[in-house]
Amino acid sequence: MQKADRRVIKSQESIKKALIELMSEKNFDAITIQDIADRANVNRGTVYLHYMDKFDLLDKVMEEHISNMTDFCESASEMDYIESTVHCMEYLQSNYLFFSTMLASEGAPSFRHQFLKFNIVEFKKDVDLTSGKNLGQNEEIVAQFVANAYVGVVEWWLKNEMPFPPQVMAEKVGELIERIV
């Protein structure tokens, strides 16, 4: 496998960062490729070299974060809810600008849908309908309920500029999730 050129990686990271910064300042529809290029300190042609248009760029950025969340959750799969939630909250905190822009400011409504869908899939892995508190429940309803609650709490946390550290949020959210799942 050929090693990626560091200049290419640096340009792509700069372009992605520029898009997120711009989206935190103004509506996505008002952002131009020239705005992105100027903020990233690259030529317009460099943006087009890596992305078809701003929609392709946004899709790639969202896909990257969903993929990272998947990897992150898989690495936390052997942890209990509180530990894995700490893990996830720390990821959200370390990528605050992205998530606050995509979720809290409703910068890209399609991201919220993807993030919710991702969480539904993850929570379905943990729903036990064979015994205990969820005996007789419908898996889809339980997963929808927990995922929507989780995404709502994450949105609240980000909109309020993370008023609690990840550890505290994780403990509170983890305890609530354990009650349901």
For the chain, the structural domain boundaries read 1-51, 62-180
> Could you give the CA distance from residue 48 to residue 43 in angstroms, rounded to a whole number?
9
- Which CATH number applies to 1-51? 1.10.10.60
Mean local confidence (pLDDT), 162-177: 91
Q: What is the pLDDT of residue 135?
A: 83
Q: Say which range, 6-20, 26-40, 61-75, 164-178, has the weakest mean pLDDT.
A: 61-75
Q: Which residues contact 25 (CB under 8 A, 6 or more apart)?
A: none
**Is pLDDT above 90 for 64?**
yes
Q: What is the pLDDT of residue 69?
A: 83
**Is pLDDT above 90 for 77?**
no
**Is pLDDT above 70 for 1?**
no
**Is pLDDT above 90 for 84?**
no
> Could you give the CA distance from residue 157 to residue 159 in angstroms, rounded to a whole number?
6
Query: Which of the four pLDDT bands, split at 50, 70 and 90, describes residue 38?
Result: very high
Look at 20 and 135; give whichever has higher pLDDT.
20
Q: Say which range, 11-25, 30-44, 111-125, has the weakest mean pLDDT.
A: 111-125
Q: What is the pLDDT of residue 57?
A: 96
Closest-CA residue to 65 (of 31, 97, 29, 42): 97
> Could you give the CA distance from residue 166 to residue 172 in angstroms, rounded to a whole number?
10
Alpha helices for the chain (secondary structure H): 6-25, 33-40, 44-50, 54-75, 81-94, 96-99, 109-124, 139-159, 166-180
Locate 50 and state its tokens. 């890596």
Polymer length in residues for the chain: 181
CATH of the domain spanning 62-180, picked from 3.30.70.890, 3.40.50.970, 3.30.1490.20, 1.10.357.10: 1.10.357.10
Query: Which of the four pLDDT bands, split at 50, 70 and 90, describes residue 70?
Result: confident
Q: What is the pLDDT of residue 105?
A: 64
